[in-house]
Chain A
């Protein structure tokens, strides 16, 4: 199975900050990587797929990059609505595994 490891597990930041979350795969997944945002009590929401393709209606301050085993999610200027938990997920093959999550909190 492919293991997905996110860092950091938690992060404190302020409105307007630039934030980067890393995701590492235990083996190459090419660009079969997605990012999700989850707010408390809600279902996750797809932000990015194919490592860097922004899902429709997702604000352009979100961006993704990377390939093979190293990936990043960047929020260029944090907004109050962005404080949430973020997950990466590989879909190179079954089982479709998620990272453990990164909780983004207000500083």
Chain B
């Protein structure tokens, strides 16, 4: 059974850094596309980043240059390193496995709150 479990969220001041982790089970992260989708409180869904099976990465313009997606093959874990955080980055962050661009498995999410 495919499972995704995010950790690492919390309260952080503007300008700070945070790294989210997503432990995967039931499949191997290196063989699939993996990504992050976020949802600000009371708002819709926003795609954040994707890492393809060949290692290429892409980012939404809103996070480009500040966020970095990566994978640890040995730990079968996906990461999202977030730097220079802004109030508008406040959201629930979901780890997703993609079936070629659509998101067929989601974690439960981890909440990131950026506030002074």
A interface residues, Cβ below 8 angstroms from B = 32, 34, 36, 38, 43-46, 49, 55, 87, 89, 91-92, 94-101
Interface size classification for chain B: 20 to 34
Task: Determine if B102 and A49 form an interchain contact, defined as CB atoms under 8 angstroms apart.
Answer: yes
Q: Which 9 pairs show the lowest CB-CB distances between chains A and B?
A: A91-B101, A34-B102, A43-B106, A96-B47, A98-B45, A49-B102, A94-B58, A101-B44, A46-B104
**A49-B102, A96-B101 are known contacts. Are A87 and B44 too (CB-CB below 8 A)?**
yes
Task: Determine if B44 and A97 form an interchain contact, defined as CB atoms under 8 angstroms apart.
Answer: no
Contact of A91 among B94, B102, B109 (CB under 8 A): B102
Contact of B102 among A38, A89, A95, A101 (CB under 8 A): A89
Given contacts A95-B60, A101-B45, 19 further A-B contacts (CB under 8 A): A34-B102, A34-B103, A36-B45, A36-B103, A45-B106, A46-B103, A49-B99, A49-B104, A89-B102, A91-B98, A91-B101, A94-B50, A95-B61, A96-B50, A98-B44, A98-B45, A98-B47, A99-B44, A101-B44
**B47, B99, B102, B103 pick with most chain A CB within 10 angstroms:** B102
1/0 contact string of B95-114 vs chain A (CB within 8 Å): 00011111110111100000
Task: Determine if B104 and A55 form an interchain contact, defined as CB atoms under 8 angstroms apart.
Answer: yes
B interface residues, Cβ below 8 angstroms from A = 44-47, 50, 58, 60-61, 94, 98-104, 106-109
- Could you tell me the distance between the alpha carbons of A92 and B99 in the complex, rounded to whole angstroms? 13
Jot down 12 A-B pairs with beta carbons below 8 A, ordered by A: A34-B103, A43-B107, A43-B109, A44-B94, A49-B99, A55-B104, A89-B102, A95-B61, A96-B50, A96-B101, A97-B47, A101-B45
Report the minimal beta-carbon distance from A87 to chain B, rounded to whole angstroms: 6
**A32-B101, A91-B100 are known contacts. Are A98 and B106 too (CB-CB below 8 A)?**
no
Report the minimal beta-carbon distance from A85 to chain B, rounded to whole angstroms: 8
- Could you tell me the distance between the alpha carbons of A95 and B109 in the complex, rounded to whole angstroms? 21
Task: Determine if B107 and A44 form an interchain contact, defined as CB atoms under 8 angstroms apart.
Answer: no
When C-beta atoms are compared, the residue in chain A nearest to B35 turns out to be: A96
Report the minimal beta-carbon distance from B56 to chain A, rounded to whole angstroms: 10
